[in-house]
Amino acid sequence: MMSDPFLNYFALGILIFVVVVLFYGIIAIHDIPHMIAKGRGHPHQDAIHAAGWVSLFTLHVLWPFLWIWAMAYKPERGWGFSSPAASPPPPDEPNQEELERLRQRMAELESQLGSGASDGPAPPGCPAVGRWRPSTSSTTFPLTDTGRRLRRSRDRHRITSITFRCCVAYCCG
C-alpha cells in the first residue's frame, strides 16, 4: 500500500537532481588542470586535457598528477624551479665606446707598470714576488708556542695586507 505517491515522486526527483549535479560536478572538476594549463600557456595543454578525460574514466586516479603537471610550468621561468632573481642576468653586449675606453685604460696601466702587465716590475710599494721575508720589527714575541702562533698570525695579516695593496695598485693605478 502506498500512502502518498507525491512523496515517492518528490524523492525520485531529488535523487535524479543529485545524480545530475554530481555528474556535472565531476566533469567540471576533471577539467581544472586543463584550465590551469591553458591559463599558463603550458606547452602540453592538449595532453593534459586528454589525460583529464582518461582520468575521468578511471575515477580520477590520475587527477592529482595532472594538477602537478599543469602547475609545474610558468611562462616566465619555464620548467625551472628557481626564482628569476637567483639566476644571473644575461650579459649585456659591450658597446664600442666602452671597449675603446677600457682599451685606453689598459694601455695606461701597462705603461705605468713598464713593459707589460704580466712580466713588468711590481707596482710601487709592493715587494717583488718570492722576495718577501717576515718582518723583523721591534715587536717580537717570545718563542713559546703562543708566541709562534701570534707571529704567524701577524705575518699572515701582513701578507694579506701587502697582497691587497698590490692588487689595488695594479688594478686601480
Tens digits of per-residue pLDDT, 120-150? 555 555 555 444 444 555 454 455 555 555 5
Answer whether residue 3 shows pLDDT above 70.
yes
User: pTM of the full predicted structure?
Assistant: 0.41
Torsion on CA atoms 148, 152, 158, 159, rounded to nearest 10: 150
d(C-alpha 18, C-alpha 39), whole Å = 31
CA atoms within 13 A on the CB side of 91: 3
Answer whether residue 117 shows pLDDT above 50.
no
Q: Which amino acid is at 71?
A: M
| pLDDT tens-place string over residues 8-28 | 999 999 999 999 999 999 888
DSSP secondary structure string, the chain?
A: --S-HHHHHHHHHHHHHHHHHHHHHHHHHHTHHHHHHHHHT-TTHHHHHHHHHHHHHTTTSSHHHHHHHHHT-BTTTBT--S-TTTSPPPPPPPPHHHHHHHHHHHHHHHHHHSS-TTTSPPPTT-PPTT-------S----SSHHHHHHHHHHHHHHHHHHHHHHHHHHHH-
Would you call 74 helix, strand, or coil by DSSP? Answer: strand
Residue 165 · residue 120 · CB < 8 Å: no
- The chain-wide mean pLDDT, for the chain, equals 74
Q: Which of 27-31, 90-94, 129-133 has the highest mean pLDDT?
A: 27-31
Task: Tell me the mean pLDDT in the region 44-51.
Answer: 93
Residue with cell 705575518: 155
